[in-house]
Amino acid sequence: MKMELSTTAPAREERLKAGIAFGGTCANLKYCLNKACLNNANRSFSQTYGCQHGLSLGILNTLRNAVVIMHSPLGCGASTNSSVGQGSNFKRLRDPKAEGTIWLSTNLDESDVISGGEKKLRDTIIYADKEFRPEMIIAVSGCVPALIGDDIDGIISDLQSEVAAALIPVTCEGFKTKVMATAYDAAYNGIMKKLLKNVVREENLVEDDFEEIQRKYLLSRHVNIFNVGSMSRADELELERLLNAIGLAVSFLPCYSAPKDFAYSLENSLNISVCGTHDDYYIKYVEQEYGIPFIIDTIPIGRKNTTRWVLKIAEHFNLEKEAEAFLKKEDELLNESLKPYRKNLKGKRVYLGGGAIRIVATAEVLQDLGMEIVGFKGHHIDKFIEPTFEALENIDDVVFNVATQQPFEQVNIVNKLKPDVIVIHSGINNITAKQGLPILPLFGPTNIYMGYAGVFEIACRLSRKIKNNQFNKNISKNRSLPYKREWYDKEPFTYIRED
């Protein structure tokens, strides 16, 4: 079906039949994925979780040469405070002259709910353009403008001729979806509307045929990798190393890109997803409109997933032989380097929580190290998880919980499963630490998790965490969890309802 650009991206509950509530085994989950019966499940009791407005800022705040305007009450953009400092450093790893995140809020209040917030947005856009002279201004709107009917697209097209910056509307009201990952589509929707245009190149009076042939050849071996906010620069360099080794050049987007990078990416020959749950909306649209093929398969975390990811790309360019020879060498080196860690990690029981694709892929690393997977908690579930399951062994009876945050379910399950270590998404570590277990963050913006180097680094860090867990033991002795004994006696999925 042809994709049409509209004001706002569709919610993933409708577009992908994604689910946010499930409790059972991996075998049950795979069965339900096939039968598409996860879509309507929900909870009769739920703790708070994030909204798509915050998650879309996770991408938009990384963009270079931009001002982000949050068109919402002040609190909607509060998460930005915790990431701007880090964000400026990570931007400078891509461009040493990059500025940190510049963000403004229209700070909508009660009187704006009565009289409308459009004037505030207009004034803020004009102020941002004059004061900061950015290449683009991104207006990210939350629930309130949607409820009071502010015409964001109308303001943007009206003001575009008055300002120098490209104006990008991103509509991501939190109430619209329970699947936070809709945020990725919302952010991409704005990019698709305004930043996809052909590159304007200087034309030489005398054409140099050789240069033109050379340029076209280089572009035919140049690929775009779609990075995710949880990737570090070191992750990117590892993936670039793997693809450079088989003769491909690489560009990364959308995170940390400048506006013109989106136009240049349209000249390259293949779009490659690192995580299908982030990118399918965008790269399917780019294929439809610009004819660029794409690969959405597994995430390159773990040896089997990395091999599969590289070979799929190599296959597209008929480079399988080169890739196989290179990967064999990488495999041998990795095996040698993992020897000291295997002894310490073998047989340890692990629980993993975070993005569903990422946790299942990371479990492959842990099985490779001889560890036992006892449970998973994924933020949401959709069909993109399927290839990552193929890299795992003996997990049919392992517990799988689909829950965006919902720490009450997590503590109950962890209490029953009694793992030796937890690998988990940051943001819920405070609760996890109170159970006294060693924790390895599921990702880290300064660490490496992807490719062969990622397997090695996960092994080193996990080994260190398990050897010395005194800090979390002390936390559990001195800080208790807020749940009553009766909750631990109950079944953890008591409140999940399948309609």
Binding site for ligand SF4 (CB under 6 A): 51, 53, 72, 76, 142-143, 173-175
CB of 81 to ligand SF4, least distance (A): 14
Residue 56 or 432 having the CB closest to ligand SF4: 56
CB of 316 to ligand SF4, least distance (A): 39
CB of 199 to ligand SF4, least distance (A): 35
CB of 12 to ligand SF4, least distance (A): 16
CB of 177 to ligand SF4, least distance (A): 10
Residue 53 or 91 having the CB closest to ligand SF4: 53
CB of 142 to ligand SF4, least distance (A): 3
Residue 74 or 218 having the CB closest to ligand SF4: 74
Residue 143 or 225 having the CB closest to ligand SF4: 143
Residue 124 or 412 having the CB closest to ligand SF4: 124
CB of 23 to ligand SF4, least distance (A): 25
Residue 141 or 432 having the CB closest to ligand SF4: 141
Give the residue carrying structure tokens 């300002």.
Answer: 163
Residue 118 or 129 having the CB closest to ligand SF4: 118
Residue 101 or 463 having the CB closest to ligand SF4: 101
Report the distance separating Cα 175 and Cα 160, nearest Å. Answer: 29
Residue 272 tokens read as 């490659």
CB of 172 to ligand SF4, least distance (A): 7
Closest to 140 (Cα-Cα) out of 204, 234, 76: 76
Residue 59 or 76 having the CB closest to ligand SF4: 76
CB of 51 to ligand SF4, least distance (A): 3
